[in-house]
Amino acid sequence: MAVRRDPLDELVVPDGTEAKEVALETDGDVLVGARSSIEFGVRGRNVLAGESVEFAGEIEADGDCRLDMWCDVAKNVLVGQDAYIGERVHIGGKLKVAGDLDIGDDVDIEEGFEANGWIVIRNPMPTIVFLFVYLKHLLLIGEEDTAQRLISELVDEEDGEPETEPLVIPRNATVGDDAWRVSTPATIGDDCRLHGNVRAETIDVGDDCNVFGSLRARGAVDVGDGTRIHGDLTTRDGDVVVGEDARILGDVSCNDLELGPGAEIDGTIRADGEITMGTTERERE
């Protein structure tokens, strides 16, 4: 994961992420900014959440799980390694930890907890707050190499193995079956399957995705090759690029519109500027 700024300044959905009926699933880590609402369960490698994050479903972490103070999880929290639970966290189901448990004061676990390792009751440091304040400080003073090493340790990169980009949900976001609402840019990787309307500053959707909802942004919207958007695509002040063989099953409203070869728009096009259409190799011949 390359670090050039605050990692929580953008919604990042890595390749292959799926929003299923009850859970948001990814192969890598999950980082959630403070005061966000996740209307799914979450399944990933390591799961880290800032203060006052709400989860409407179950958390399953193959590695570590860190929940800062005042988080609320509606169902179980299942952890494959160690867990760090801040003070005044509420868990509506069970907490099961395969490793060590570091737990704060006034934690409410409705169905009890189990830990196979050490159990320490204290007030753990709010790790998300500390981590990103420290990262921001390193970037401000130009220590990009140090910041990169820190984030590499966080996501457990190993020499010679490809990096798995984490799923990053910025502060004050709402993510659910109805809508993904953020006030930051949004980047969605390749081969993703998401349910819900996406609302962001700008939106970049990768190749071969299925988004069952509309896209709305203030700025530019890019849709990758072979992607299907099952809804309208609207930008207030930006341009739209629709990749080769992509399909928009709704209306498009924008400034300039660029359509790749084989791209289809099923609804009405409203473009204040230019509309350009790419040609296939056969058409050029």
Same domain, 239 and 189: yes
**Residue 256 structural domain:** 177-284
Q: Is residue 70 part of a domain?
A: yes
Q: DSSP class of residue 133? A: H
Per-residue pLDDT tens digits for 66-88: 999 999 999 999 999 999 999 99
Same domain, 29 and 148: yes
Structural domain tally of the chain?
A: 2
Q: Is residue 12 part of a domain?
A: no
Same domain, 247 and 151: no
Length of the chain: 285
Same domain, 35 and 123: yes
Same domain, 26 and 150: yes
Q: What is the DSSP string of 13-33?
A: E-TT-EE-SSEEE-SS-EEE-
Residue 176 vs residues 14, 54, 102, 197, 270: alpha-carbon distances, Å? 17, 12, 30, 9, 29
Which residue type, as a one-letter code, is found at position 40?
A: F
Separation between Cα atoms, residue 30 and residue 167, nearest integer Å = 5
- 3 pLDDT band, cuts 50/70/90, is very low
The mean pLDDT value for 139-160 works out to: 59
Same domain, 76 and 133: yes
The mean pLDDT value for 15-33 works out to: 91
pLDDT at residue 168, rounded to an integer: 93
Separation between Cα atoms, residue 180 and residue 197, nearest integer Å = 6
Measured on CA atoms in the order 135, 17, 28, 73, is the torsion positive or negative?
positive
Same domain, 159 and 206: no
The mean pLDDT value for 33-56 works out to: 94
Separation between Cα atoms, residue 135 and residue 7, nearest integer Å = 9
Residues of the chain with pLDDT > 70, as a percent, come to: 80
pLDDT at residue 9, rounded to an integer: 83
Same domain, 56 and 112: yes
The mean pLDDT value for 107-116 works out to: 94
Partner residues linked to 198 by β-bridges: 180, 215
Domain boundary, last residue among 146, 167, 188: 167
Same domain, 160 and 191: no
Same domain, 150 and 210: no
pLDDT at residue 278, rounded to an integer: 78
Residue 138, H or E segment: helix 127-140
199 is written with which tokens? 């609302």
Q: Tell which wins on pLDDT, 1 or 65.
A: 65
The pLDDT of residue 128 is above 70: no
Q: DSSP class of residue 180? A: E
- 149 pLDDT band, cuts 50/70/90, is low
Same domain, 190 and 138: no
- Nearest CA-CA partner of 53 in 85, 79, 22, 96: 85
Domain boundary, last residue among 167, 185, 218: 167
